[in-house]
Structure 1
Amino acid sequence: MKKESRGAVGERSRRAILDAALDCFTRLGWAATTIEDIREVSGASVGSVYHHFGAKEGIAVALYLDCLRQHQDTLKLQLEKATDAESFVRAVVIHTITWSRANPDAARYLIRMRREDAVAAAEPELQEATGGFLLEGINRLKAYARDGQLLKLPSSAYLPLLQGPAQELLRHWAGGRMELKPGIEKVLADAAWRCLRPEPTGRREP
Structure 2
Amino acid sequence: MSDSSATVRTGGSASGQREATASADEGTATELGPRERILQAALELFVEQGYFNTNVPDISKRSRCSVGSIYHHFLNKEEIAAQLYRDGILRFREALSESIDPEEDPEKTIRSIVIAFMRFAEEHHLLSRYLWLARHNEFLSDRVRRPTTVGFDELGRRLTKVIKKAVRGGDIPPVKAEVFWSIVFGIPLSYVRDWLDGYTTGSPSGVSASIASACWAGLQGLRN
Q: Same fold (TM over 0.5)?
A: yes
Q: Which residue of the other structure, out of 202, 214, 224, is the alignment partner of 1:191?
A: 214
- 1:132 — aligned with what? 152
- 2:25 — aligned with what? none
Distance in 2 (CA, whole Å) between partners of 1:28 and 1:199 is 42
User: Does the CA-based 8 Å contact 2:38-2:60 persist in structure 1?
Assistant: yes
The structural deviation recorded for 1:94 is: 0.8
- 1:150-197 deviations in Å (ceiling 9; x for gaps): 222122210111111111112222322223435211111011112224
* Structure 2 SS opposite 1:165: helix
Query: Are the structure 2 counterparts of residues 199 and 24 from structure 1 closer, same or farther at C-alpha, using a change threshold of 3 Å?
Result: closer
Structure 1 residue 32 corresponds to structure 2 residue 53: yes
- 1:76-128 deviations in Å (ceiling 9; x for gaps): 22114762211221111111111101111100100122444223x3227x479
State the AA in 1 paired with 2:186: G
**Structure 2 counterparts to residues 142-181 of structure 1, below 5 A:** 142-181=164-203
Larger Rg computed on CA atoms: 1
Q: What TM-score, normalized by structure 1, do the two folds share?
A: 0.79
- 1:3-52 deviations in Å (ceiling 9; x for gaps): xxxxxxxx932111111111112222222111111111212221221222
- 1:135-159 deviations in Å (ceiling 9; x for gaps): 3244121332123232221222101
Distance in 2 (CA, whole Å) between partners of 1:26 and 1:88 is 32
Q: Which moved more, 1:143-152 or 1:191-200?
A: 191-200
Bigger fraction of residues in helix: 1
Query: Are the structure 2 counterparts of residues 22 and 180 from structure 1 closer, same or farther at C-alpha, using a change threshold of 3 Å?
Result: farther
Distance in 1 (CA, whole Å) between partners of 2:96 and 2:60 is 32
- 2:7 — aligned with what? none
Query: Are the structure 2 counterparts of residues 19 and 191 from structure 1 closer, same or farther at C-alpha, using a change threshold of 3 Å?
Result: same
Q: How many residues align?
A: 189
State the AA in 2 paired with 1:37: D
User: Does the CA-based 8 Å contact 2:41-2:59 persist in structure 1?
Assistant: yes
Larger relative contact order (Cα-Cα within 8 Å, sequence gap ≥ 6): 2
Distance in 2 (CA, whole Å) between partners of 1:51 and 1:28 is 24
* Structure 1 SS opposite 2:117: helix
Query: Are the structure 2 counterparts of residues 45 and 82 from structure 1 closer, same or farther at C-alpha, using a change threshold of 3 Å?
Result: farther
Structure 1 residue 18 corresponds to structure 2 residue 39: yes
State the AA in 2 paired with 1:112: L
State the AA in 2 paired with 1:151: P
Note the residue ranges of structure 1 that are not aligned, 5 or more in a row: 1-10
- 1:95 — aligned with what? 116
State the AA in 2 paired with 1:58: E
Note the residue ranges of structure 2 that are not aligned, 5 or more in a row: 1-31
For the aligned residues, what is the CA RMSD?
A: 2.8
